[in-house]
Structure 1
Amino acid sequence: MKSAIQPEYLRRLGTWDAVMIVIGGVIGSGIFRTPASVAKLTGSGLEQLLLWLIGGLLTLTGVLCYAELGARRPQVGGTYIYLREAFGRLPAFLFGWTMALINYPGSVAAVATTFADYFCSAAGLPHHWSRPVAIGAIGFLVGINLGGIRSGAWVQNLFTVLKLAAVSLVVVAGLILAGGDWGLVLATDPVHPAGSAALIGALLPVLFAYGGFHYLNDLAGEVKAPQQTLPRALMIGMGTVVVCYLLVNLAYLTGLGHAGLASSTAPAADTLRRLLGPQGGSWIAWGIACSTFGYCNIAIAGGARVIQTMSADGVFFRAAGQLAGHARVPRIALLALGLWAIVLTLSGSFERLLDYTTVGEWLAHAFGIATLFWYRRHFRDQPSPYRVPGYPWLPLLFVSVVLGVIVATALHSPADAGMSLLIIALGVPVYYLWLRRAGERS
């Protein structure tokens, strides 16, 4: 099948916008909840902090690889583009099929529902308003992004600043509660002793909480001076996230202790309530609402670009591959993603779907970074504005760790892993049907 000519996006995102996209794509609701799950599998505050540091360093390794990939191919579509060039159209389609059908809209539905829960709690609305609020949030964000990448970036920048303010509030609360006494932060917790197997299991939610750094690469075709901006923004943004995550975990440990963190279902709210009383819980509810709202915005924007790129390639609905208006907006792709996310929100099935595709998402990360070896081999003499330090060891380390995470996830949840692989496999006949349809049309 002959490749379609890719429509041109306008490069309107600067370094500040790009950094906000990286931070906003990673920090959602996970850091306000996940540390409690990790604490249940660790035996001390020291182990807790070390796991978040290790997870952060591993993720930074992946970010360095994505920085080179983005600098080499500064196009909209990110991982889809890398897989298509290195391994062919079928692997790229299987990635896009899984992400467009489930991961992007499922993530939007799940996080929009989380946003609605916290928004209703903070605003004093009854819980049955949660689903209409979630649907309204999705519709509002799609509408904002229909106005162009600048309007979407404005919303992203605002809510990323607000989520960083929420993180800062938790950190300050923990430091005040510590009162200068840091002795118990790293102490062993006799209630939750941890073995090596438990620590490996605890690394899984840590790595998942660090996920989402790929969204900037999805939007690379709209970044100004991408060869310089992408590496700089990825490293600044992800470095900021790692520091935030370590400080938040430190705040939880100083405010609640390791045992208190392990037994908490809402550690951020519990930490602030200890310092500020009931009002603290309301404040952090607003903070988490802002954090999740910002994540939905970037997931909608990035997901729509992947769908548009696939459609322009002729392996998805042709109409979704068009760019509209002077702002060059993928309107059909945005509307399709938003409508499907609303359907998943109404059905309530997004949580199971996301569980089913976790293995596929991380498999895509591994293969996406593996394309770096292909680019280095086939473009040996082509200068790159940014090159991964420590090549090939850093990419090999990240790919090996991610494959290890996939194996551990499959052993822990074989049914979910099996469904993930089945969903990917179902994309094979769909791909050939699209080829046949495209051939008949031409």
Structure 2
Amino acid sequence: MTDHSSNHSYLRRLGIWDGAAIVIGGVIGAGIFRTPATVAERTSSGLPLLTLWAVGGLLTLAGVLCYAELGARRPQAGGIYIYLREAFGPLPAFLFGWTMALINYPGSVAAVAITFADYACRASGLPAWWVKPVAVGAIAFIVGVNLFGVRAGAWMQNLFTLLKLAAIALLLVVGLALAHGHLGGMLQVDTTRVVSGGAWIGALLPVLFTYGGFHYLNDMAGEVRDPQRTLPRALTLGLVGVVVCYLLVNIAYLVGLGHAGLAQSKAPAADLMSHIFGPRGATIMAVGIACSTFGYCSIAIAGGARVLQTMGADGMFFRSVGHIEPRWRAPQVALVVLGAWAVVLILSGTFGQLLDYTTVGEWLGHAFGIATLFWYRRRFADQPAPYRVPLYPLLPLVFVGTVLSVIIATAINAPGDAGMSLAIIACGVPVYAIWRRRQRARTG
């Protein structure tokens, strides 16, 4: 994406493995180390649990393939913001950016930074009052590294992706060591327990949330080399890697703890490690989760800053935020603004509520973002596309339908949070009018 205010653009330095690492790091955070226990509570045995994780992975893969075509068509920084702006106009794009770049991205960074700090303090024996200072320090460090460009951020991200994959591999080895040759038992179906369709949907929701975060590579598409080829391959490779990891981890939980033990566990990864290594096992896993969550924060800050910078370059936010630093080709102002706002949320303790309030807005953004694919197909029907999603229009329809189902289920389960999410989006309308007026006054 060209920065109109400074005549500098991003440099395309990310290859396929960098892109796949961004996808893996953006999806795998802390969820897989805790969410399987919730899914086990809502299923009858190991087979339906694994089926849900496979179904969730296939549904997410449908969305990823759609994002692959969108990214190949518009390989620019900003992701969904760009697609919405071109297909539906500046107001929907602004409302997405308003909700995500200013609230959801920094809110998720704040929440996951606290999770990182919590596990880091446990692993190092620091007292609880160190959690917030460590979280703030982590955000400052991540922002500082990313100020020197996407290549520096990619090196850091690749390292922490390898570390989180090592933690997952360790879980698998421990689970198999505890299985004692009884792998088949984990797939036995409990015929005495009947699970309703509503319970299945309730179990699928946390699975889908744990698969979230695959869109960050599209936010950084302006820095991907040969994007028409690299983006589809990196997105697909990264998401397939995530699905494999998630299935293997759940197998490890089932063979190591059993379905009933998994359902009763509050920290299944730590419990699994403790069976072999005792209290030291929980410490080892705390280090693994800390690495995983730190890597997620790095990606969320880098991706969110690109959306914020694109909005600034469009005149939809402060012009200075749209600046791309000429030497390192990094959105330095946007990085600092996003990081500083995340720190404010940490210190105020309000990030949890903000995330609850913006969940519906985030999923609406995904639904409308994928829906732009239909516009692109009609608008540019006579032009060759570098990549086309297979089974069109089935896959985008399946993904949009799934996302809308998630929104409905979320609204039913938490109507207050859904209402606040819609209210936050609505508040963006007068803000948009103000920025448009400022833009017209500046140009006219």
* TM-score interval for Structure 1 and Structure 2 normalised by the shorter chain: over 0.9
Aligned residue for 2:388?
Answer: 387
Cα distance in 1, alignment partners of residues 40 and 146 from structure 2: 38
Aligned to 1:246: 247
Equivalent position of 2:400 in the other structure: 399
Q: Is the 8 A contact 2:176 2:255 kept in 1?
A: yes
Q: How does 1:19-418 map to 2 (within 5 A)?
A: 19-189=20-190, 194-418=195-419
Structure 2 residue runs of 5 or longer lacking an equivalent are none
Q: Do the aligned residues in 1 keep the contact of 2:8 with 2:326 (CA within 8 Å)? A: no
Cα offsets for 1:119-156 (capped at 9, x unmatched): 00001111110010000000000000001111100100
Matches of 1:236 and 1:276 in 2, distance apart?
33
**After superposition, what is the alpha-carbon deviation per residue over 1:32-60, rounded to whole angstroms, capped at 9, x for unaligned?**
00111111111111111010000000000
Distance 1:55 1:375 in 2: 26
* DSSP-derived class of the 2:391 partner: coil
**C-alpha distance in structure 2 between counterparts of 1:280 and 1:386, whole Å:** 45
The residue type paired with residue 345 of structure 2 is L
> Secondary structure at the residue paired with 1:248?
helix
Structure 1: which 4+ aligned runs deviate by more than 6 Å? none
RMSD: 1.3
Deviates more, 1:388-397 or 1:272-281: 272-281
- Describe the superposition over 1:44-92 as per-residue Cα deviations: whole angstroms up to 9, x where unpaired: 1111101000000000000000000000000000000000000000000
* 1:191–1:259 CA contact under 8 A, matched in 2: no
Is contact 2:53-2:247 (8 Å) kept?
yes
In the alignment, which residue of structure 2 is the partner of 1:11?
A: 12
Q: Distance in 2 between matches of 1:403 and 1:157?
A: 33
- Matches of 1:244 and 1:44, distance apart in 2: 20
Give the structure-1-normalised TM-score: 0.98
Question: 2:87 touches 2:372 (CA, 8 Å); kept in 1?
Answer: yes
TM-score between both structures, scaled by the size of structure 2:
0.97
Structure 1 stretch displaced more, 175-184 or 305-314: 175-184
Deviations 1:317-370 (A, max 9, x none): 110001113121111100000000000000111111101111110111011000
Task: Return 53-62 or 172-181, whichever deviates more.
Answer: 172-181
In the alignment, the residues of structure 1 paired with residue 123 and residue 193 of structure 2 have an alpha-carbon distance, to the nearest angstrom, of 33
Whole-Å separation in 2 of the counterparts to 1:242 and 1:132? 34
Letter in 2 for 1:395: P
Residue by residue over 1:291-314, the C-alpha shift from the partner in whole angstroms, topping out at 9 and shown as x without a partner, is 000000000000000000001000
| TM-aligned CA distance change 1:403 to 1:327, over 3 Å | same
Counterparts of 2:104 and 2:88, CA distance in 1: 21
Q: Provide the secondary structure at the position in 1 that maps to 2:187.
A: coil
Distance 2:224 2:39 in 1: 36
Distance in structure 2 (CA, Å) of the matches to 1:55 and 1:183:
23
Q: CA deviation at 1:193?
A: 5.2
Instruction: Report if the CA contact (8 A) 1:177-1:255 is conserved.
Output: yes
Contact 1:71-1:226 within 8 A present in 2 as well: yes
The 1:74/1:180 distance shift into structure 2, 3 A limit, reads same
Distance across 2 between alignment mates of 1:179 and 1:381: 60
SS for the counterpart of 1:184 is helix
- Amino acid corresponding to residue 136 of structure 1 in structure 2: G
Task: Provide the C-alpha distance between the structure 2 equivalents of 1:102 and 1:62, rounded to a whole number of angstroms.
Answer: 23
Distance 1:191 1:409, change over 3 A: farther
Q: Are the aligned partners of 1:41 and 1:192 in contact in 2 as well (CA < 8 Å)? A: no
Per the alignment, do residues 27 and 438 of structure 1 end up closer, same or farther by CA in structure 2, a change over 3 Å counting? same
Amino acid at match of 1:305: R
Q: Which amino acid aligns with 1:216?
A: L
For 2:246 and 2:169, locate their aligned partners in 1 and report how far apart those are by CA, in whole Å: 11
Looking at structure 1, the residues matched to 423 and 337 of structure 2 have their Cα atoms a distance apart, in angstroms, of 24
Identify if the C-alpha distance between structure 1 residues 375 and 39 changes in structure 2 by more than 3 Å, giving closer, same or farther: same
- SS of 1:81's partner is helix
Matched to 2:38, the amino acid is S
For residues 388-427 of structure 1, the C-alpha deviation after alignment (integer angstroms, 9 at most, x for no partner) is 1100111111101110111111011100100101100100
2:192 & 2:123 partners in 1: Cα distance? 33
Paired letter, 1:227 = Q
Unpaired stretches in structure 1, ≥5 consecutive residues: none
Q: Output the CA distance in 1 between the equivalents of 2:192 and 2:340.
A: 47
Match of 1:429?
430
- What number of residue pairs does the alignment pair up? 440
What is residue 438 of structure 1 aligned with on the other side? 439
Question: Shift of residue 194 of structure 1?
Answer: 2.7
Q: Contact between 2:8 and 2:325, CA under 8 Å: does it hold in 1?
A: no
Shift of 1:189: 5.0
SS at 1:398 equivalent = helix
Shift of 1:196: 1.6
SS at match of 2:384: coil
